Structure 1
Amino acid sequence: MSDKVGRSFFLICGFLMLFYSLLIGFSTIYTGDFFVGHELVFLGSTVMAFCLSYLYPQFKEGDERSKKIRERGMFFSYFFILGYMIILMPLLQFEIINLNGYQTVSLLTALTMITVFSSFVILSKRY
């Protein structure tokens, strides 16, 4: 698969996921059930697809640079994800925000996907 085909595949998937996330988001707002949970997972998938579209030529080669980007990205993401959990715990404990289990897991999933792949993009510009 050439670079253009791989990038365009992820770009098309990104726009498709963006369409789905907007459609699902608007439908849950329209029905009055906004923030069911899965809306953010679709949004996280959208960010992931766009980031993979950008990163495809670098990750396709599988060289030392791409391995370093992945390692550092996961390392930095770990601390951000830990921070998200530390912030969410008191917010949930003191009932500042009310989320059920599915919403909480969906929120953490979306934040994890966005953080990991955004850190890959940021680190790819650095290394």
Structure 2
Amino acid sequence: MQMSSKAGRRFFLFSGLLFLFYSLLLSFASISTGGAFVGYELVFLGSTVMCFCLSYLYPQFKENDERSKRIREKGMFVSYFFILGYMVVLMPLLYFEIIQLSGYQTVSLLATLTIITVFSSFVVLSKRY
């Protein structure tokens, strides 16, 4: 059974709102307990951006035609260099202790940046192609 374009967009929009609620709730809980962010709050925020981007892209990606494949290809290619840039910036910041993050926080930050970069690049490239 195939999902119609409106139903697919609504699903991703609803999921994005749900993830936004979760990320705000978890961030508020972290702040109110006096602790710093744990890491999973950022992953929920990245999932929020991903769902909103997929809501926008659903009509184009459901076709799985040459255009959507090209958008995915180019998006992954561009994202690769941004992700390398994030790592190049994070390494000296962590090494010189300008920022102090645990291993879990660092991986969560990189995962969030990766999710946001990949899906944002899909949206930008969908307007270009």
Superposition TM-score tier, normalisation by shorter sequence: over 0.9
Query: Aligned residue pairs: how many?
Result: 127
CA distance in 2, matches of 1:28, 1:6: 33
Matching residue of 1:122: 124
Structure 1 alignment gaps of length 5 or more: none
CA distance in 2, matches of 1:48, 1:32: 29
Deviation at 1:82, TM superposition (A): 0.1
CA distance in 2, matches of 1:121, 1:34: 32
Same amino acid, percent of matched pairs: 77
Which residue identity lines up with residue 49 of structure 2 in the other structure? V
Matching residue of 1:97: 99
Which residue identity lines up with residue 35 of structure 2 in the other structure? D
Deviation at 1:32, TM superposition (A): 1.1
Which residue identity lines up with residue 107 of structure 1 in the other structure? L
- Conserved 8 A contact 1:25-1:34: no
Query: What's the TM-score, normalizing by structure 1?
Result: 0.99
* Counterpart check, 1:20 vs 2:11: no
Stretches of 4+ aligned residues off by more than 2 angstroms: none
Which residue identity lines up with residue 47 of structure 2 in the other structure? S
Matching residue of 1:61: 63
CA distance in 1, matches of 2:40, 2:77: 26
RMSD over aligned Cα atoms: 0.4
CA distance in 2, matches of 1:12, 1:36: 25
- Conserved 8 A contact 1:3-1:56: yes
Which residue identity lines up with residue 24 of structure 2 in the other structure? L
CA distance in 1, matches of 2:106, 2:69: 31
Q: How does 1:26-105 map to 2 (within 5 A)?
A: 26-105=28-107
CA distance in 2, matches of 1:72, 1:29: 38
* Counterpart check, 1:113 vs 2:115: yes
Q: Deviations over 1:39-74 (max 9, x none)?
A: 100000000000000000000000000000000000
Which residue identity lines up with residue 49 of structure 1 in the other structure? C
Query: What's the TM-score, normalizing by structure 2?
Result: 0.98
Deviation at 1:33, TM superposition (A): 1.3
